[in-house]
Structure 1
């Protein structure tokens, strides 16, 4: 679906991020994999993917709490002078799980920097390239928590709700340039991010699902790949739930 396309993916080593990179590579896309550090495990994973799928996968270091790092990462990609066909804003943190009345404003601001402001600044820096090309697809990874609200997740829910609003606004603004913007709102996914949740909360959330299991990261990756592909060329401005029938 993505043969010869070049895709930028942030948060590339997290559970969902790695799955998105895997699915893009399987569909023959070249990938810029943005991550905070490159360790030996990451190097082995990237080299194996490149060989298995005959694609280019280039790691790029980025820290969304550091504006200079954001600028440098975007510049590195732009300076390659290669067309950018898609951007996946996947990087994010859950933050502390606590009630609003107990949440420090500094913690809320930090969560917004990583989940919203950093990714939006990064996207803005790449956007002129896509606008000149008059084509592209942007996929933002949101959460059903932003649509339903979750107890004790004020910073996370609010930051992902901001992503939803940005998705709606940008889809309208960028449609004349043939750039589509959508968001994926996963439910409970089997990744390390669930480690912050209590067992009681996990059990309560699973009981609310029609399909009584966690989502697999690759299921999010496959939906993301579809939205990046030409098979979804009439879909834009959507917040798509993938939650097992919550």
Structure 2
């Protein structure tokens, strides 16, 4: 199995792409720090079921990505566990669909706080852990909106574009320490985020892809597994689009 006995950390694991990643990484033999905003009983039970089914360890962790004090405490706990991290997948994020002239400062700041600033700070802490072992893969979940300039996604797209730029820089800085950093840019994907978009917009987006459908969370998870594994050992600083041929 690709990740047999390796330890990974995935954020935003309660549903959607994050949950699909937990399933796939566990099936591939990885032990997982699985993050959710709140590690409540339902989340803990869900993670325990997946761990039991795949005979791996899953350690639920809970904190709001914008709560930096809670983030630091969690990182300290992970450091004290002394389990080397082979990969981190920064998946947690929020979306906003709003025309440029209708987007408030509050909405803009919220997008950047979760999708960029929190990932930036969290990755700083994770990089310190990886540097100790001179090994690791950082995978940031961006979006095609960060490259394409979609109508109604100026704030969201800008936050993801910042994430793409950050990824390229840290790949250049951390490469000599054996750490790789890449982005995945999903196109329209069948998650709860689709419910925030008008039905016609969703349909138009599907029709603009060569495959004429939305992607599945499992298909994004497969790209993350590839980038986390040694199969991608010479890939860094890249943005891999998983978009069905979006035009």
CA distance in 1: counterparts of 2:15 and 2:112, whole angstroms: 18
- CA drift of 1:41 comes to 3.4
Structure with higher RCO (Cα < 8 A, 6+ apart): 1
CA distance in 1: counterparts of 2:100 and 2:68, whole angstroms: 27
CA distance in 2: counterparts of 1:44 and 1:213, whole angstroms: 33
Q: 1:111-140 CA distances to partner (integer Å, 9 max, x unpaired)?
A: 111101111111111211111110000000
CA distance in 2: counterparts of 1:179 and 1:106, whole angstroms: 35
| 1:237 aligned counterpart, secondary structure | coil
CA distance in 1: counterparts of 2:133 and 2:242, whole angstroms: 31
CA distance in 1: counterparts of 2:66 and 2:154, whole angstroms: 19
Q: Does 1:3 align with 2:1?
A: no
TM-score (norm 2): 0.96
Aligned residue number for residue 191 of structure 1:
191
After TM superposition, the structure 1 = structure 2 runs for residues 60-139 of structure 1, keeping only pairs within 5 Å, are 60-95=61-96, 97-139=97-139
CA distance in 1: counterparts of 2:102 and 2:223, whole angstroms: 36
Say what the alpha-carbon RMSD is for the aligned residues: 1.1
Which structure 1 residue ranges, 5 or more long, are not aligned?
none
- CA drift of 1:38 comes to 2.8
Q: Which moved more, 1:104-113 or 1:21-30?
A: 104-113
> What stretches of structure 1 move > 3 A for 4+ residues in a row?
none
Q: 1:64-88 CA distances to partner (integer Å, 9 max, x unpaired)?
A: 1212122122222112111111110
CA distance in 2: counterparts of 1:40 and 1:60, whole angstroms: 12
Which structure 2 residue ranges, 5 or more long, are not aligned?
none
TM-score (norm 1): 0.97
CA distance in 2: counterparts of 1:53 and 1:9, whole angstroms: 17
CA distance in 2: counterparts of 1:64 and 1:10, whole angstroms: 9
